[in-house]
Amino acid sequence: MNAYYLACDVGGTQLRAALYAPTIAQAVQQKRIPTVGKESATERLMMLIADIWPSEGQVLGIGIGVPGMADPETGIVYKAPNIAGWENLPLQQQLQDRFGVPVVLGNDANVALLGEWRYGAGRGHHNLLYFTISTGIGGAAIIEDQLLLGEHGLGTEMGHLTILPDGPLCGCGQRGHLEALASGTGIAHYVAEQLAAGVPSQLAGQACPNTRQIAEAAHQGDALARSAFERAGFYLGMGLANYLHIFNPSIVIFGGGVSQTGELIFAPMRASLEKHLMSPQYLADLEFAQVQLGDDAGLVGAYVLAQQQISRQRSQSRLSQK
């Protein structure tokens, strides 16, 4: 009989699901639907899972990547800001009740790093850091082959590191966080502010240029646009120095739209990192990489999560039956 893991990637725009064989990270089948519809997001997720459920064979378990704070231990989604109604939601229990198989939740950044570690840029490493830089800054850490979660799954909020007291406002309500300084939102806010203050730029006239437009202007030599990436890279390097002092990883993996601007942000980041490290030994054998799995990282990672957790639970329950 065929056996499968069912992986789901919950996003603000779309819900994706895939079926995987237990040992091969290649989806047997994939489906996606919009997150928003006349049903609730939870109902739509259940519809999608029912839709992809194999007509023959067994589902060993379901792994789900959630864009927000989720506790893998209790299976509760504390808060997923982009999914209406997902606050203190016992999602694991609801899905287990509905489908009768083990369900495991993970924060989307954690799940993406699991995918990259097993099947992407992080293969062969034991101590990994991951940063996804887009609208916000998310992150994850694997330490000696174990995902860092914390007591209630609230760890590795890597963007929410104060590095500039009284600095710009962060999406979370605090000030001067790495996310407020080096995310796409942080870059765009800075440019909008400078334009409003009358700093000359080819972007003048656009009310709120986005990161892509700012990157284009920077490539064309626009001084304000270049300085916006230099500033973001400077703070990113300062934050990264902090993280190297804490974790001493062997690889740092970057993902997210802003990291695709490449050297615009990475050149000033590296200069700032070197300036802020207390010892060059933190750079010994350290690799920098970009994500390799792209849009599929969430699905592949949810599959790895399900496989890890559920095979652990099965071996524990076998032990306790002996």
Q: Is the dihedral of CA 239, 243, 248, 253 positive or negative?
A: negative
Helix spans in 24-124 (H) = 41-52, 91-99, 108-119
* Euclidean distance between CA atoms 190 and 180, whole angstroms: 10
Per CB under 8 A, 302 contacts a copy of itself: no
Q: Which residue, 21 or 271, is less far from a copy of itself as judged by CB?
A: 271
Binder among 230, 276, 288, 292 for a copy of itself (CB under 8 A): 276
Per CB under 8 A, 281 contacts a copy of itself: yes
What Rg do the C-alpha atoms of the chain give, in angstroms?
21
Binder among 161, 187, 214, 215 for a copy of itself (CB under 8 A): 161
- Residue 64: beta bridge partners? 8, 105
Per CB under 8 A, 154 contacts a copy of itself: yes
Per CB under 8 A, 308 contacts a copy of itself: no
Stretch that binds a copy of itself, among 101-109, 163-171, 199-207, 208-216 (CB under 8 A): 163-171
Helix spans in the chain (H) = 41-52, 91-99, 108-119, 178-182, 184-196, 211-219, 223-247, 263-276, 297-321
Dihedrals phi, psi of 85, to nearest 5 degrees: 85, -5
Binder among 28, 33, 148, 271 for a copy of itself (CB under 8 A): 148
Per CB under 8 A, 273 contacts a copy of itself: no
Least gap, CB of 244 to a copy of itself (angstroms) = 8
Helix axes 184-196, 211-219, angle to 10 degrees: 70
Binder among 164, 192, 199, 271 for a copy of itself (CB under 8 A): 164
Binder among 1, 56, 100, 151 for a copy of itself (CB under 8 A): 151
* Euclidean distance between CA atoms 136 and 221, whole angstroms: 26
Binder among 60, 133, 158, 182 for a copy of itself (CB under 8 A): 158
Q: Which residue, 219 or 312, is less far from a copy of itself as judged by CB?
A: 312
* Euclidean distance between CA atoms 306 and 104, whole angstroms: 6
Stretch that binds a copy of itself, among 94-102, 184-192, 208-216, 240-248 (CB under 8 A): 240-248
Q: Which of residues 23-62 bind a copy of itself (CB under 8 A)?
A: none
| Residues whose CB is less than 8 angstroms from the CB of residue 108 and which lie 6 or more positions away in sequence, other chains included | 9, 10, 11, 65, 66, 67, 68, 138, 298
Contact set with a copy of itself (CB under 8 A): 69, 78, 126-127, 143-144, 146, 148-158, 160-165, 170, 172-174, 238, 241-242, 245-250, 276, 278-279, 281-282, 284-285
